[in-house]
Chain A
Amino acid sequence: MRSLRFPTLFNPVASLQTSKLLRGRERSARRPEHLTERRTKPPVVELRQATKVYPGGHVALDRASLRVDAGEFVFLVGPTGCGKSTLIKMLIRELEPTEGEILIAGRDISTLSSDKIPYLRRRIGTVFQDFKLLPSRSVYDNVAYALQVIGASRAEIRTKVPDALRLVGLADKVKSYPDQLSGGEQQRLAVARAFVNHPPLLLADEPTGNLDPATSVGIMQLLYRINRTGTTVFVVTHDREMVDKMRRRVIGLDAGRIVRDQSAGMYADEESTREFAARVREEMGVEETGY
């Protein structure tokens, strides 16, 4: 019964039909108009035959090509070890492709000199799988660090950090340290830090891994809200159920190869963040958590 109620994305037709039946609403077969318009600009992310072979011969990514346009919300799904994290690491040039090109905003990032890499990373907010918080800094200072790095003024830091923390619902934890936070709170802190300087591209590596469904919906709602401000959001996950509910573009990765890229027909109507969260919660059968 579960598969009926929560059709997998591997069956888009069933998904569409079931969804129509359940929700009783028409869905657009095309991506929203504002996304189509931006196709003339260079894509925010573009992979051209990108291949990554680790020392020892393990092929993590095998001639992967894809493009993500400005304002899109994209899921990258696939089983563990399929190369998802490798792909994320290559987008911020933590790793370099063995072959092929990776372009961010039309620029091949492998041509960047190493002293320019920090500037690339400042334009990309990254939510790491293991959060990568600074354990010796408070919640406030963790978020502030991302601004200090880009040379923001104190006044800017004083306004933007509380804003970001309010957005993720951690306004009352500013003085706590990362080890005093729950997993979900740490995750949201990581999102706040990634988003605090409003980067044009937000990468999230397993942002809902190990979180309960209610917290996961909260995180996804947060990412959706960020996406609606115009930020391109790229989420890596194996939480297929969540992906189905989000109804966004999905790129499937298996053994380093892109096995599918579904965008047409996957987009839900323009929803407000509240509508989105309400729908996903309802579909997943979880209670509202309050942020």
Chain B
Amino acid sequence: MSRIIFFIAEGFRALRRSAAPSLAAIVTVGVTMLLLGVLIPVLQATSGKTEEVRDQVGLNAYLYDDATPQETDELASQIAAIPNVAEVEYVSKDQALAILSDRFEAKDQSDLTEQLPGARNPLPASFKIKPDDLDNLNTVRAALTPPGTDGKPKPISPIIEEIGESEDEAATITEVTGALKWGLIIVAALLTIASLMLVANTIRLSIYARRREVEVMQLVGATNWFIRWPFVVEGLVCGLIGGLAALAILFVGKETVLDPLAENFGLIKAEQTIAFAKLALLLLVVAMTVSAIGSGLTLRRFLKV
């Protein structure tokens, strides 16, 4: 117990003694954490949006209005038997109308469906077909419309009026967000690696300045861990302070910039992003671990006497 107190006291003593290198380490950790704190939610938001869009992509098989329930059931099992089809959903004429009505509502527009003459429903019934992977979309489409005797694609059932891609624009969005996501991942990875190296280097400098002290400690019989613990404590404290500083900036940024913006822009208001408390905890743990391990490991080369 008295040892632990000694190590903590020694760690703080070292922080006071080498204020400038410690400050450099704190700032570096802080900047890295700030970067991660911004990048993690942004990445999550983009990948969340992408998933949302990908979910909507699929094929629609529109049916003639005179299709009998028996024919419809038959087609449903036919479609389900096609390889790479993940999900088949029947959307009746009434359901299609309800969906359209909901969309008007969501956009705060007047419900045009109410103005339909004689409550006639012009929308066809359809099968919503989702492939197991977006890349298999065309395979599924080919299976639904195999080449007929005249060589032209012919639907597998006479009740199919038309095969349509549910949202052509969705595919484009998916491509764009996918590219954006990869771009962000690469940037985040590069920045993280660069900052980690910066942290390690800063800590190494601060230890290098004290390498003679470390040598003396060894010569009077200090074990490597006895020398190392105060450095680890120092790293923990640097990580904690740097992490807290980053969190303070992130919190202020969230409160003053992000939250007001989120009220106006749907994209920012991505619900799937990490909660702030969780992010804060993650960042603190990462900051402390990185700097503690950084200083502990960096010391190794100076401990080889």
Q: What residues of chain A have their CB less than 8 Å away from a CB belonging to chain B? A: 92, 94, 115, 118-122, 126, 128, 132-136, 145-146, 148-151, 153-154, 193
Contacts and interface: CB of A to CB of B under 8 A. Distances in A.
A146 B220 contact: yes
Contacts of B6: 148
Given A134-B213, A153-B2, A145 B220 contact: yes
Interface of B: 2-3, 6, 17, 213, 215-224, 226, 305
Contacts of B222: 118, 145, 149
Contacts of A149: 217, 220-223, 226
Contacts, number: 50
B3 A94 contact: no
A145 B217 contact: yes
Contacts of B2: 153-154
Contacts of B226: 118, 149
A122 B216 contact: no
Given A149-B226, A154-B2, A94 B220 contact: no
A190 to B, nearest CB: 10
7 contacts: A115-B223, A118-B221, A118-B223, A128-B219, A132-B220, A149-B223, A154-B2
B103 to A, nearest CB: 71
Contacts of A122: 220-221
Interface of chain B, main secondary structure: helix
**From DSSP, what is the main secondary structure of chain A's interface residues?**
mixed
| Minimum-distance CB pairs A-B, first 3 | A122-B221, A121-B221, A149-B222
B216 A134 contact: yes
A115 B225 CA distance: 10
Contacts of B305: 94
Contacts of B218: 118, 121
A132 B216 CA distance: 6
A275 B244 CA distance: 66
A81 to B, nearest CB: 22
> Which of B219, B220, B221, B224 has the largest count of A CB atoms less than 10 A from its CB?
B220
A92 B223 contact: no
A133 B213 CA distance: 8
A135 B213 CA distance: 8
Contacts of A128: 219
Nearest to B222: A149
A21 B213 CA distance: 51
B157 to A, nearest CB: 78
A119 B224 CA distance: 11
A146 B216 contact: no
A45 B220 CA distance: 18
Contacts of A150: 221
B213 A121 contact: no
A132 B218 CA distance: 11
Contacts of B217: 134, 145, 149
A232 B79 CA distance: 95
A122 B217 CA distance: 11
Contacts of A120: 221
Contact of B219 (A94, A151, A153, A154): A94
Nearest to B215: A132
B219 A92 contact: yes
B220 A121 contact: yes
Contacts of A153: 2
A126 B218 CA distance: 12
Given A94-B305, A134-B213, A136-B17, A151 B221 contact: no
Nearest to A194: B220
Contacts of B223: 115, 118, 149
